[in-house]
């Protein structure tokens, strides 16, 4: 994602230098990033990463400087843990309860009020679809799959597998295979692997690209 920041009062702009790259301060006077306009703290829920930047004179307005930056932004991890990852994991693990009920190891009439385990899985799928729509409204629209898209897709496949097991396998077979325990173990393994991968990806390098497309220019004194 790329954008242009500009300011009429350069001394109000704070750039913190980290090696050869820059991090975004919060005192820009004018900006337009992700719909935040005029707020002195525009990125309360976002972590911006300016990886390349340059300051050049504004040819359209004499005496005014323009700050160019190519940057990456990401939601702060706590938002996704609370709003998406934890609820999605809970919904996925509930697929094991449907398998447990279908295997006869739990009282179907007590747990579901007479409904079938397949109805429970269908309800969980609808819940996950609703969570997917909620997630897509909270982030910018992208033309590629993100790690969160993959996480939701794999979680949906787990629920699909639970539905297939309930439909195809008889009660005795589900008990012999310990399908509910295996399903729970695979879900736990997937969530642990995803957490490790997400942590590694979250540690974005300070410098993303060695190239910078904007021309160098001397900054005139104040």
Q: What is the pLDDT of residues 4-43, one digit of tens each?
A: 333 333 333 333 333 333 334 333 333 334 444 444 444 5
Q: How far apart are CA 55 and CA 121, in angstroms?
A: 56
Where does the chain hold its CATH 1.20.58.390 domain(s)? 77-202
Q: How far apart are CA 121 and CA 99, in angstroms?
A: 9
Q: What is the pLDDT of residues 77-135, one digit of tens each?
A: 666 777 778 888 999 998 988 888 888 776 545 554 556 888 889 899 999 888 888 77
Cα distances from 139 to residues 42, 91, 136, 143, in angstroms, run: 15, 22, 6, 12
DSSP tag of 10: G
- Cβ-contact 174, 165 below 8 angstroms: yes
CATH 1.20.58.390, domain 77-202, yes or no: yes
- Cβ-contact 152, 87 below 8 angstroms: no
Cβ-defined contacts of 179-187 (< 8 Å, 24+): 179/99, 179/103, 180/96, 180/97, 180/99, 180/100, 180/103, 180/105, 181/96, 183/95, 183/96, 183/99, 183/158, 184/93, 184/96, 186/158, 187/89, 187/92, 187/93, 187/95, 187/96, 187/158
């Amino acid at each position: 994602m790329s954008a242009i920041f500009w300011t009429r009062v350069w001394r109000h702009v704070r750039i913190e230098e980290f090696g050869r790259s820059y991090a975004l301060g919060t005192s820009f006077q004018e900006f337009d990033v992700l719909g935040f306009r005029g707020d002195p703290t525009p990125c309360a829920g976002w972590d911006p990463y300016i990886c390349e930047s340059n300051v050049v004179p504004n040819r359209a307005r004499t005496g005014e400087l323009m700050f160019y930056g190519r940057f990456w932004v990401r939601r702060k991890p706590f938002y996704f843990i609370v709003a998406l990852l934890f609820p999605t994991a809970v919904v996925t693990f509930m697929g094991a309860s449907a398998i447990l009920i279908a295997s006869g190891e739990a009282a179907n009439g007590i747990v579901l009020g007479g409904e079938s385990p397949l109805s429970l899985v269908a309800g969980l799928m609808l819940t996950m679809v609703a969570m997917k729509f909620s997630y897509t409204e909270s982030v910018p629209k992208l033309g590629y799959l993100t790690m969160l898209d993959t996480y939701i897709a794999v979680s949906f496949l787990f629920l699909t597998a639970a539905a297939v097991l309930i439909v195809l396998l008889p009660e005795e077979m589900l008990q012999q295979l310990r399908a509910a325990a295996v399903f729970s173990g695979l879900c736990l393994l997937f969530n642990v692997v995803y957490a490790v991968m997400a942590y590694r990806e979250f540690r974005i390098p300070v410098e993303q690209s060695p190239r910078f497309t904007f021309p160098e220019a001397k900054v005139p004194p104040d």
